[in-house]
Structure 1
Amino acid sequence: MKNNTSVYDQFFYQGINIIRGDNGTGKSTIMDLIYYGLGAELSEWTAEPLSCDKVFLEVSCNTGIYTLSREIEQTGKSPMLICEGDYLSSTKTENQWLKYLNRRSDERHSYSQQLFDMMNLPQHKNNDSANLTIHQILRLMYLDQITAPTKILRYDTNYDNANIRQAIGEYLLGLDDLDIHELRQQLIELERDFSKIEGELKAIYKLLSKGQQDFTADKLHAEILAVESEIYQSLQKKEEIRFKTKKELDDMQKEQAKLILMEINKCTEKLENLHVQSSFLSNEIIDSTLFLQSIDYRIKSLLESKITNESLGSLNFKYCPACLTKIETIRQDDICGLCKSPKNEDSTKKSYLHMLNELNFQKRESEKILQSNKNLLDEIKTKIPELENLLSMSKLNYKDYLQSNSAMESQIAEISNRIGFLESKHQNLKERLEFFANIEALIKEKQQLVVKISEVKDALAAKKEKTKNRLLEVCSQLETTTMNIVKMDLGFEKDFENPEEFEFSFPRDTMWLNGKSKFSASSMVLLKNSFRLATLVESTKDINYRFPRFLLIDNIEDKGMMPSRSHNFQNIMVEMCEELENPYQLIYTTSMISPKLEGGNYCRGIFYKKGTHTLELNKI
């Protein structure tokens, strides 16, 4: 519709419907509009349909006749209006139209859910992101010209992955009990959460030294209690000093000054040793890294040498590569063709294997040493700041003793400095406790996810086991029917004449005939269409299929299809469909209709000549 005027109005009957016309007359436009009107998301429009306002479709479903309406938007995600009854009656009433969004809301479910209900198709009972939508199942019902002929499903740039493709196939062929797709979605979410937590923990561990990684909340709690106890004792000691005699304080000051000086010397010596160790380990790490690089290069060179040896061993030189003198040819496998020395291939292979094993052993041992040195260096880098803080505090205390006017002042100053240090340490330990508590929470959550993932995998395996027989039965029948169709081709592809096996995979979006997944472009089109026709045929025979028995084919002459080959396939489609007993609808387009079908009961509308268009926009 454009400006409330119909620019294309055609009745499509149950069974076969053919739209014919020259290339460029808008046959694909009609197929895209049907595809979009049924609920697909379509954003790649040509100018003609995009200039229109709305598309209306009258559809017959399991529960009755309905009229669907969607505004044509560039995004392809416009809502759908649904009215119960045929198109003519829907134009006479306005208040019976119900509006549905492409995603469900709190007030109303999506148009996908409504269409599934109208077709009496079961639905997954989980969230929108995991549900199959009408857009997804239409991907198996529409063969367009843009999608590569090697692909089973219509291309989708927004919602396509192996899991979704598998769910589409299993759902429409009736291979699952609806729980399998939901379990797969749960597994994906659980594994995503697991990977996220594992990544966070790896990043944390990378920042921590080996010694810090061994900390636990219990250890930190114990250390905090010890620091709190020392702070309490220092405060008590500070109070006791006020009641000491001058002589006692002087003696204590001298003894404390001596202890502080010893502590300063001790810390200085430790710091010097740690800096020496740090420098040594840094050099060792650099040397080990370079040594490992050299081992990798030697392993690579050894493997290249082995390949070269094997290649040259099979060559017979006619002239000496050094002086170009003709070489006497001796055709013996155990004699070198160049120097005539005896060859022992077993001994050569053993030598290569021995050297490779030796290099790999050196690499493993060097990697262990490298990692050990890195861990030691991390521990040292953690200890150095702690010792530097302790040394600074001790020097400050010693300075206070030297500058103090009285023994009491120096004693109190020393204890106050110690209390300040302990309080700072206490705060640091509390922050670390919170940090490690978060780590332990992540570890606990990771462990819970491992259990949940295992449970979902077990449930998924049990469900798959129950549907195994159904899977084998459906796949076998589909494969047989597809091969029977392919056999009727006119001999354009040798493998099609008497195929021995046909396989398909929805997750991989691929088909194989006699083990091959690629043929000429036109042969791939015919194989793809044969498989889709087989799906339609089998869906009318098997009540467990959920395929809506509806097919849009817009690629009959795609990829350079010869007229005779196209005519033959059209005749095959019609003959097979005419034998079907249950209701179905097939709509296909062609620019070279089979002479047997031209002008017959299956043709819809005129033959659109070059220069005309299916959309009569000149009406407006």
Structure 2
Amino acid sequence: MGSLIIKQVIYSGDAYYYASPELNKGINIIVGDNGSGKSTFSYFIEYGLGGKIKPFSKNDDNSKYSLIINDTNNYVQLNILINDVAYSLKRFIGSQDIFVKHNQEVDSFSLERDKKSAPFIFSDWLLGKLGIPVFELHIGATHWYFNFSDLFRLLNYDQNTEPRKIYKEPVAENFVADSIVIRKSIFEILLGMSSADYFKKLDAARAALKAKDIAKSLLESFTENHVISGGADRLSDRKDVVQKEILALEIQRNELLKISTHSNDKTGELAEIQSKLVGLELKASQDRIKITNLINEQSKIVILHESLIQEINQIEKIIFTHEKLDLFAMEICPFCMTEKTVDKGFCICGSKFNDDDYEKFVYNTNEYKDILSHRQKSIKAITLAVQTYQEEVKVLTEGLLETDQSIEEYTEKLKKIILTAQFAGNSTRIDEFNDRIIRLKDELVQINFDLRNIDQEQKLQTDFNLKTRAFVLAQNSLKSAKIAYDENNANTIGVFNKVYSTLLAESSYKSVTAYIDDDYMPYIDNGEYKANSSEVPKRLMYYFTILSMALQLESIKHPRFLLIDTPEASGIDTDHLNQNLLLLEKAIEIGTEDIEKSKDYQVILTTGYGKLPEEFGKYIIERFSKKEKNFILKPKIDQSLILKTE
């Protein structure tokens, strides 16, 4: 993966300045007395890479770095190489932006993410250049983006963190920032164990499962609420028969009307009224069917409205108390995503539950928020639907009353005409024809309604089948990715344990067995007690091991950069410290022994005089001394005084 090399560290202000010698690839050592600027050198590097340094903040009352806080127009500049490409990073003291210069182009990136004003920040830029994807993590109600400053916790062995804690103290001061989930994720990201491909396919499988469940729910809901008598073929055949019968009856009725004779000229009026009555009766029948269907649908919507209100109350309670749950279905194991045989109405654990409610408890918090928002919008839509149904029923009812009134009026007219007209034909037979036509047209309306429902059911069934096939494909793809993911992780941890065990056995710890547990924390010699000074090699070898693996394996995303700030802590003596520091060369040797082409790396070590092996003297590039008044911050000469002297 990518490599990060610091070429020069610069500080500049109106009162003070500092410019380091050019740093080398490989090992670089800065030595100095306490208080001369060793840690400040490390601070400059971390600050220039976007880190938070409390002494540089005016809001920190406990450890203000007065010379820097009181300086003006001051900034830290890092000249760096990323994969041998030169960049210059400039960050002003107290600023939350970093200027990046490459060739003649200058870009500015914020350090703080904001969806609207700064969706892409400096960390995203830096991680992108290093080939490390931006990972997201959901922890309860917290949505966590991993920044470079998070990963820096395993790139910087600092003196402020207790050695027993392994990881550098987090920038954010909260329990989530230093939770085991965050620490494990940092380890996995740097060691290439967090497979973007695997998690992408996991998300795809979850989305496919959710889509399948929704399609299944829609299909089951439709079939439960719509009873259809007969299949599509039988209904289509019956429709043809009914249409032919109606046509035949209308022809017979019209012929009967033609041959009917009367003693006056009211025959045409009689036929017209009869035709209007048939039409009105048919319309009234259709309107009654529509009203009945609308009332049924309205009652279902009301039930759904009440159910959604209860569901929203449940979801609000779940969001308040929810921490972290994975999506699963009753047919699928939430851990391995394989199908499980479970009796209907029973949970995977065997407990009985309401099948309609189970999926309310299986999403993560962000998904719950999306569901809650969707349900709340659904409430508005349902309320509007209820109002629409009510308005339609009202309009149809009013229309039906008018139709019934018209029927009564035309019936009275028909009676009067019959009483005043003398027919040679049979009016009773005409009425019989009209009744049969009306009944057949009512049946035709119901047949068309059933055929539309059958068509809708077939569409829902087809959609469910497609979603099921898509889920099976996504699940199979996930299984393949999971196998590769597990194999890679097992191999990576195996290499880590081998290197870590080798280094720690040769350190002042003198361990017999050493490996990392499921939380990636060292477990040494069955947990046997050791003196506090043993925590230094325990932590230091952990960092050396990761660097060694980064030199050895292509899958490692660690940028092959390590900053070690004054490791002489926890009472460790100089001889033991030197013994441990020498193992840095051993770690590098292990990482490069099987590699044909060497990889760029950089280690920057700050330490005190006499607190490093003699063999490391060749790596010293900078010296600070209180005795010689050679501090890291040097006052700028007042140019006006120089002009007056001349």
- Name the structure where strand makes up a greater proportion of residues: 2
Normalised by the size of structure 2, how large is the TM-score?
A: 0.48
